[in-house]
């Protein structure tokens, strides 16, 4: 006679709450405040309650479980005040989050995103009018609507569309905007036909693939040398506002990894 022994799964002690305006999810362990978790640039981070330090994890559940471990070790005091929400860490230039290294790939991603939101009549800025840097594809981004002037949080991963279709998701802009039927016409009237060459006087923004590649290479050398003074003007050329940002972004796209052909 065969006896089968079943093991009851351990009870999950953590609960992940609703994401707040900053993109963080509060976590309780045994129903007590224990910290928060958030996703940034494809990875998850856990911050213990009352602390400012963070640790990186593979997914949200691993991040939350790490807080359980910290609670059991006595490193979390549920009675401590919660850590204050901090503003985005200042970067080399205002158009790229300080949490994102100015690598070649991140610069290209930011340049493409900044150009596309401009085409859609969004301005990257917060409610106080300060420039909101590109935060990565899966993080909330403060954008001011060019149709009604309201500042809302959107995600580049939603605005860029999917599977080759550039239509933003959802198709409507945000709650309280002008009538959906009037949005496309107003965007077209505001944006017009973007120039293909940089018309700026103070900064010469690249629009050809050759110039983009040259500046990207110089920026990478400056980053590796930790030469911020040399890096800053290069990033201003590659990411700074320009009426020809669409042409610049199209050239940047030529340096993205190409999909492998299907067999």
3-state secondary structure 68-136: HHHHHHCCCCCCCCCCCCCCCCCCCCCCECCCCCCCHHHHHHHHHHHHHHHHCCEECECCCCCECCECC
User: Which of 13-27, 76-90, 99-113 is predicted most confidently?
Assistant: 99-113
Segment among 70-84, 101-115, 148-162, 183-197 with least mean pLDDT: 70-84
Question: Which tokens sit at 119?
Answer: 């085409």
Cα separation, 66 vs 60, whole angstroms: 10
Contact 5, 12 (CB under 8 A): no
Among residues 217, 213, 196, the alpha carbon closest in space to that of 253 is found at 213
Q: Where are the alpha helices (DSSP H) in 55-103?
A: 60-73
User: Which of 19-28, 74-83, 131-140, 219-228 is predicted most confidently?
Assistant: 219-228
Check whether 202 has a pLDDT greater than 90: no
Classify 27 as helix, strand or coil. Answer: strand
CB count, 10 Å around CB of 252? 24
Cα separation, 152 vs 144, whole angstroms: 6
Distances (CA, A) of 260 to 128, 163, 231, 249, 263: 44, 15, 33, 22, 9
Query: What is this structure's pTM?
Result: 0.76
Mean pLDDT of the chain: 88
How far the first Cα of the chain sits from its last, in Å, is 52
Question: By percentage, how much of the chain surpasses pLDDT 90?
Answer: 62
pLDDT for 39: 84
CA 71-77-12 angle, to 5 degrees, is 30
Question: By percentage, how much of the chain surpasses pLDDT 70?
Answer: 89
Cα separation, 128 vs 210, whole angstroms: 37
What average pLDDT does the segment 87-110 reach?
Answer: 87
C-alpha atoms less than 13 angstroms from C-alpha of 208 in its C-beta half-sphere: 3
What average pLDDT does the segment 16-28 reach?
Answer: 84
pLDDT for 263: 60
Among residues 124, 125, 126, 113, the alpha carbon closest in space to that of 157 is found at 113
Q: Which residue would you say has higher pLDDT here, 101 or 80?
A: 101
DSSP E strands in 146-245: the ranges are 151-154
What average pLDDT does the segment 157-186 reach?
Answer: 89
């Amino acid at each position: 006679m065969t006896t089968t022994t079943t093991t009851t799964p351990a009870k999950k002690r953590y609960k992940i709450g609703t994401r707040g305006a900053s993109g963080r999810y509060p976590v309780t362990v045994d129903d007590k405040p224990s910290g928060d978790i958030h996703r940034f640039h494809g990875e998850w981070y856990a911050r213990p309650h009352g602390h400012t330090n963070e640790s990186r994890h593979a997914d949200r559940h691993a991040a939350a479980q790490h807080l359980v471990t910290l609670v059991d070790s006595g490193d979390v005091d549920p009675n401590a005040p919660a850590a204050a929400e901090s503003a985005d860490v200042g970067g080399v230039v205002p158009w790229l989050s300080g949490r994102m290294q100015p690598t070649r790939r991140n610069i290209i991603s930011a340049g493409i995103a900044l150009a596309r939101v401009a085409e859609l009549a969004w301005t990257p800025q917060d409610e106080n009018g300060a420039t909101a840097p590109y935060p990565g594809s899966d993080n909330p981004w403060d954008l001011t609507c060019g149709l009604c002037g309201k500042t809302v949080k959107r995600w580049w991963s939603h605005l860029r569309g999917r599977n080759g279709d550039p239509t933003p998701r959802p198709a409507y802009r945000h709650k309280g905007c002008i009538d959906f039927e009037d949005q496309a016409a107003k965007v077209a009237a505001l944006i017009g036909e973007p120039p293909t060459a940089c018309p700026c006087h103070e900064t010469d923004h690249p629009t050809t693939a050759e110039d983009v590649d040259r500046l990207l290479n110089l920026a990478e050398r400056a980053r590796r040398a930790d030469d911020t003074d040399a890096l800053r003007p290069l990033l201003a050329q590659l990411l700074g506002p320009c009426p020809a940002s669409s042409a610049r972004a199209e050239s940047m796209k030529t340096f993205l990894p190409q999909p492998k052909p299907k067999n």
